[in-house]
Structure 1
Amino acid sequence: MCRMTEYPPSAAAFTATPAKTPATKWQITAWALWDWGGAAFNAVMTTFIFTALYLTGDDFGGADKATVTLAFAMSISGLAIALLAPVAGQRTDHSGRRRLWLGINTLIVVVLTAACFFVQPQESFLLFGCMLIAAGHVFFELAGVNYNAMLLQISTKKSIGRISGIGWAAGYLGGIVALLIVYFALIKPEVGIFGITSADGMTYRAVAVFSALWILVFSIPIMFAIPETKRDPNMPKVGFIQSYMELVHTIVRLWHTERHTLYFLISSAIFRDGLAAIFTFGAVLAVGSFGFATGDVLIFAIAGNVVAAVGALSAGFFDDKFGPKAVIVTSLIGLLISGGALLFLDGKNAFWVFGLILCLFVGPAQSSARTFMGRLAPEGQEGEIFGLYATTGRAVSFLAPQLFGLAIVIFGAQRWGIVGILVVLLLGLLLLLPVKAPPHGAGSH
């Protein structure tokens, strides 16, 4: 393995840049509310309800076939994100329209989520539903590039861990509230609000409409609370194709001057793909391999989000005190142990115990990966760097879904998809270990 380069004297430029004026509590709250709203897409649509209980069900050809189709659709979305994210972030750095593009991409996610209402419970609609979810992921990630870059506008290197953890925790808690509303208003009663029943899949199709509205409403505050970035007059306007040439120059420069940044991008790309797969396929496994019924999944989802929120908030404290690398390494080891246990244990109780342990470690790994990148991002290039972060994360995003689906095909049972996820997490951990950690708040007084 290549020897990691030491930090050059200019490395301070790659730590989180202090905001020009201290962020207000309302700005931090409004920023976190975007994550709260996004939970409707992540938790309700792609993790616990729409895909797990509807799109991968018997009406769409059975769990195994539907799960494999979903996995391949997600692989396609990952390739699209890999091609678009860094240039999208770079162009918002140049244009000074970070907030505008956050709003546009979020609105597209809202439209795609609402369109899931038209996915009828027939096998012929399986591909349509999977592609809507996959496309939603593309634009959600593009919005996330600008959202993550905004973290640098409202934090300093001493507070970035805490504020990032608040954002992740808000997402998990938003997921709890959204799931509770969905459960008691639509899933549990035989006749839900507005007289909605399960006939023709209407219960789950209505969930899509609710999710779209949830995302829309809680995305509005950030549009008013966080100021638009200003265009740097020293940055020339470049065309779309030329943007890729500029991106290549940035990567070459990083290789020569800040090589540790590239090493982290590679290692995090892999382990974050494993983290995403846990959320994408966790509830699918609970139903298909561990005997969870609809009510079981929703109760577990609520408990899991509480545990994940606690983990994310704790990560903020430990991140600022010990640095993001220590948090990520500890979390990945915890994920490998708990995920490995599920390979050999059966029943609901086993999934409850080790599934909740998984939730406890996923939040810290996600939050600290973002702060690791934030501590490295130079001022004026936050969008481009977080675009690279999204791209590298998705450049291999086909890996975990493909290995998950391939393991099912090879071993002939859905449960063995866990092996594919564990392989990805282990590889990411091994590549992360030699990476030199950036300076953090505790050591930067």
Structure 2
Amino acid sequence: MTDSAVASSKPKGTLSWALWDWASQSFPTVVTSFIFGRYITDTAFAPAGMSEADAEQYTGYWLGISGIISGLLIALIAPIVGRRADTSGRKKMWLMINTWLFAGTIGLMFFVQPSNDFFFFGLTLLAVGGIFFEFATVNYNSMLNEVARPKDRGRVSQFGWGLGYMGGIVLLVMALWIIQFGGAELLGIPDTAALSVRVVMIISMFWVLVFSIPLMLNVPEAKPIAGTEKESIFAAYGNLFRALATMGRENPNLLKFLIASAVYRDGLNGVFAYGAVLGGLAFGLGLTEIIIFGIAANIVAGFGAFVGAFFEDRIGSRTVVFVSLIGVMLGGLGVFVFAGAGTIAFFGFGLFLCTFVGPAQAASRTMMSRLSSDDKQGEAFGLYATTGRAVSFLAPAAWTVFVAAFSPLWGILGLMLILVIGFLLLITVKPVLAPKE
């Protein structure tokens, strides 16, 4: 371990690092999944005169286009973001800069009023915020080896992921109170122009800014790699391609894991991305019920991650991922098979499924850290983000094909198919266990 790793592996530094998961959860939970992502697809954002069906198609189409564009930019740039953070020794600096930038985009979402005049402004903020969030995550994940001893990385990774879900719960409860249960009126927020939703964006911005301060103050900056501090962007791309070629020869297990994890992580992301859509289209849930489901989903996912913290370093990250993927697939199958039971099936099997999402994601982060050398963590997690984005069309495509061919309920089977493929690819990856010392 590096000197900075030894220093920041103290409990104060480790907790400060994990609190960034808590802080940043406002983007995937409030912005992407449950609040702003649904708000921007409201028919109020479509051009005047469109039928409701055409308006839904219009907003959904442009949301997909913006996601593709931002995904391509992330795939192209993320490895260099990570590599340059490694070589320059500025992981924390770039983490904080990107954190402030995506927090700023969340704050600007307050100005997105429910009108077609603000539609593309909102989409741009969503896409740009997603890019900055991904870049921040690359640097954050690459710091895992600096805040945890090798034998504790699984526990620390799971703990951080669990904290993230807990933060999502608090945010969603506040949002539900403000939007649905009288909080807006109590706070003096007028019931016009979706102000209650837009105020939640301001709260989410300050949430990110405040709870990211401990990491900035208590986690030491990494040291640069000697002789590479002034590597140009063009040189970085050239060295990256050479590193990939070397990886294929010298560390094929890491390359296999990058491919396998990219596939099953896309399936896991699809579960959360389309869970609310499935609840609305196939089970007739309203906004309040969907937010309640989101709160419950974060509770059980956080619980699963905290449980995973006790086991991962003992039984290995790959085993945790295997067990978790099986749990997710069984839950998804249960939602489909027992759909006739209605909301009970969606909540019951859906929450069972969500219990395993956190452990799978956190164990994947740990496994990536252990398969990569300590001096190339940023580059490795940049590739981790890139491979994930490179196949990010899989879950949406599978969802769309199954829904178009059958019905919205069948979309869940499309997502499960992606998970099965990722599961089979993971079998080819050799396990890596935590060192005893």
Asked whether the 8 Å contact 1:92–1:98 carries over to 2, the reply is yes
Aligned to 2:21: 35
Structure 1 residue 39, shift from structure 2 partner? 1.3
1:397 aligns with 2:377: no
1:178 aligns with 2:171: yes
1:229 aligns with 2:222: yes
Structure 1 residue 131, shift from structure 2 partner? 3.5
Aligned to 1:9: none
Partner SS, residue 182 of structure 2? coil
Asked whether the 8 Å contact 1:319–1:368 carries over to 2, the reply is yes
Q: Bigger CA drift: 63-72 or 165-174? A: 63-72
Asked whether the 8 Å contact 2:2–2:146 carries over to 1, the reply is no
Aligned to 1:82: 75
Aligned to 1:139: 132
Aligned to 1:93: 86
Aligned to 1:7: none
Aligned to 2:246: 253
Structure 1 counterpart of 2:310, one-letter code: F
Asked whether the 8 Å contact 1:68–1:405 carries over to 2, the reply is no
Structure 1 residue 115, shift from structure 2 partner? 1.9
CA distance in 2, matches of 1:303, 1:377: 35
- Pair 199,97 (structure 1): closer, same or farther in 2 beyond 3 Å: same
CA distance in 2, matches of 1:409, 1:197: 40
**Alignment: residue pair count:** 427
Give ranges in structure 2 of 5+ residues lacking alignment. Answer: 47-54
Structure 1 residue 391, shift from structure 2 partner? 1.1
1:114-263 to structure 2, matched below 5 A, reads: 114-123=107-116, 125-189=118-182, 191-235=184-228, 237-263=230-256
Structure 1 residue 41, shift from structure 2 partner? 1.1
Structure 1 residue 219, shift from structure 2 partner? 1.2
1:261-318 deviation digits (Å, cap 9, x = unpaired): 0000000011111111222222232223322223222222222111111101111222
- Pair 128,363 (structure 1): closer, same or farther in 2 beyond 3 Å: same
CA distance in 2, matches of 1:18, 1:157: 14
Structure 1 residue 423, shift from structure 2 partner? 2.3
- Pair 190,139 (structure 1): closer, same or farther in 2 beyond 3 Å: closer
- Pair 24,49 (structure 1): closer, same or farther in 2 beyond 3 Å: same
Partner SS, residue 353 of structure 1? helix
Asked whether the 8 Å contact 1:43–1:175 carries over to 2, the reply is yes
CA distance in 2, matches of 1:193, 1:144: 36
Asked whether the 8 Å contact 2:8–2:14 carries over to 1, the reply is no
- Pair 358,129 (structure 1): closer, same or farther in 2 beyond 3 Å: farther
Structure 1 residue 432, shift from structure 2 partner? 0.6
Asked whether the 8 Å contact 2:88–2:229 carries over to 1, the reply is no
1:177-216 deviation digits (Å, cap 9, x = unpaired): 1111222234321743542144212111112111111111
Asked whether the 8 Å contact 1:64–1:414 carries over to 2, the reply is no
Structure 1 residue 73, shift from structure 2 partner? 2.6
Asked whether the 8 Å contact 2:8–2:218 carries over to 1, the reply is no
Structure 1 residue 130, shift from structure 2 partner? 3.2
Asked whether the 8 Å contact 2:106–2:129 carries over to 1, the reply is yes
Structure 1 counterpart of 2:41, one-letter code: T
Aligned to 1:431: 425
Structure 1 residue 410, shift from structure 2 partner? 4.3
Structure 1 residue 157, shift from structure 2 partner? 2.1
Partner SS, residue 196 of structure 1? coil
1:78-136 deviation digits (Å, cap 9, x = unpaired): 22111111110000111111111001111110111112222222345444433322322
CA distance in 1, matches of 2:281, 2:42: 9
Aligned to 1:55: 40
Structure 1 counterpart of 2:10, one-letter code: T
- Pair 249,68 (structure 1): closer, same or farther in 2 beyond 3 Å: same
| Higher-RCO chain (CA-CA 8 Å, sequence separation at least 6) | 1
Asked whether the 8 Å contact 1:71–1:405 carries over to 2, the reply is no
Asked whether the 8 Å contact 1:17–1:157 carries over to 2, the reply is no
1:263-274 to structure 2, matched below 5 A, reads: 263-274=256-267
Q: Bigger CA drift: 32-41 or 416-425? A: 416-425
- Pair 327,249 (structure 1): closer, same or farther in 2 beyond 3 Å: same
Structure 2 counterpart of 1:440, one-letter code: A
CA distance in 1, matches of 2:14, 2:233: 33
Aligned to 1:318: 311
Alignment RMSD (CA, Å): 2.2
CA distance in 2, matches of 1:208, 1:415: 31
CA distance in 2, matches of 1:434, 1:80: 30
CA distance in 2, matches of 1:128, 1:178: 24
Aligned to 2:12: 26
- Pair 388,39 (structure 1): closer, same or farther in 2 beyond 3 Å: same
Structure 1 counterpart of 2:17, one-letter code: W
- Pair 197,51 (structure 1): closer, same or farther in 2 beyond 3 Å: farther
Structure 1 counterpart of 2:88, one-letter code: S
1:299 aligns with 2:299: no
- For normalisation by structure 1, the TM-score amounts to 0.90
Structure 1 counterpart of 2:150, one-letter code: K
- Pair 206,252 (structure 1): closer, same or farther in 2 beyond 3 Å: same
- Pair 119,414 (structure 1): closer, same or farther in 2 beyond 3 Å: farther
CA distance in 2, matches of 1:262, 1:433: 13
Aligned to 1:112: 105
Asked whether the 8 Å contact 2:330–2:353 carries over to 1, the reply is no
- Pair 212,18 (structure 1): closer, same or farther in 2 beyond 3 Å: closer
The percentage of aligned residue pairs carrying the same residue is 41
- Pair 378,162 (structure 1): closer, same or farther in 2 beyond 3 Å: same
Structure 2 counterpart of 1:436, one-letter code: K
Aligned mate of 2:63, from 62, 70, 77: 70
